[in-house]
Amino acid sequence: MTRIFVFPGQGSQARGMGKDLFDSFRDMEREADEILGYSIRTLCLDDPDGNLVRTQYTQPALYVVGAMAYRRRVEQLGDTPEFVAGHSLGEYNALFAAEAFSFTDGLKLVRQRGALMGNASGGGMAAVVGEDITNIREMLAEAGETTIDLANHNSPRQSVLAGPKEALERVAPYLESRKGVRVVPLNVRTAFHSRYMAPTKAEFGAYIAGFKLSPLMLPVISNLTALPYRDDEIAHNLVQQIDHPVRWVESIQYLLQEPEPTFEEIGQGTVLTKLIEEIRRVPLPVNIARRY
C-alpha cells in the first residue's frame, strides 16, 4: 500500500474548523498568533468579523489547521506518508510535511501570498461542470475567447476558468449550450491561477527569495508540473503556481500508478476526496510521465 496525504486549498474553509486541534497544539497556535497579529483560534472557530472568506485570512487559517492536522495524523500513525500533494494553497501544507520549511516560515510565506492575492482585483472565475477539458478548450476557441485561461483542472468533468468577468459572462451561455454543461460563477473578485496574476507573482517571487528552503524529506507532487518536486524547484514552482493552472487531475493520475495508492485528505473538509473518487473512475492515459 502507498499512503498518500492530500491537503485542500481555498474554498474548503468553514467556521469551526480545527476545533479538535487547537487544544492539542498550543505551541503552533502561539507561534501563529505572534506571526499573524491576531487570534487564529478565534478566526477559525468563531469568525466574529466574517473574515474567514477573505483571502488574506483564509489562506493562513487553512495552512495552520492543515499543519496541525498533519501533526495529529502522524502522531496517530507513528509514521509519515509515502507521498504528499496539495491543491493550490494546500501545496504549502504538503511542503511543510516534507520539511521544505518550518511551520513558522511556511506561515510567513502563506501570509504574504494571501495578502498579495487578497489585494489583487479585477476579473473573476467560473467552474465548468459536465465537460472534459479538451472540449472546453475547443469551445473557447470556437467562441473566439482569447482572454480566458483554464485555471484549475479539478476532475475529468470539472474545470475552472479565470479571466475578465465580462468575458466569463459572455461565454457562459455558449458553454451551457452543450447538453449537461453548467457554468457556476465563483464568489471571487480576482482571476487566480491565470495570466492576470503576473504582477502578484513578481511580488511574491521577491519575497520568497529571502527564505532558505530545505531538501525534501518526502516526495511532493507539484501543481505546476504534476510531477514530484526536485529540491532546486521549490521556490520556482511556488512562484509560478500563482499564475499557472492547478493540474490536479494529472497529479492524481501520476499517483495512481503507485502500488495500491491510498489517499487521505488532511485538514478541513472532503473536497479533494470527492475529486479523487471522480478521477479514479476514468482510465489512466497510456503514457504518463514518470520522474523516478
Catalytic residues: 88, 193
Longest CA–CA span in the chain (Å) reads 55
Cα→Cα distances 226→83, 86, 114, 211, 288, Å: 13, 11, 23, 24, 10
Report whether 272 contacts 62 (CB < 8 A). no
Distance CA 257, CA 162 (A): 30
3-state secondary structure of 184: strand
Query: Which among 148, 170, 167 has a CA at the least distance from the CA of 159?
Result: 148
The 8 Å CB, 24+ separation contacts for 167-170 are 168/124, 168/125, 168/126, 170/145
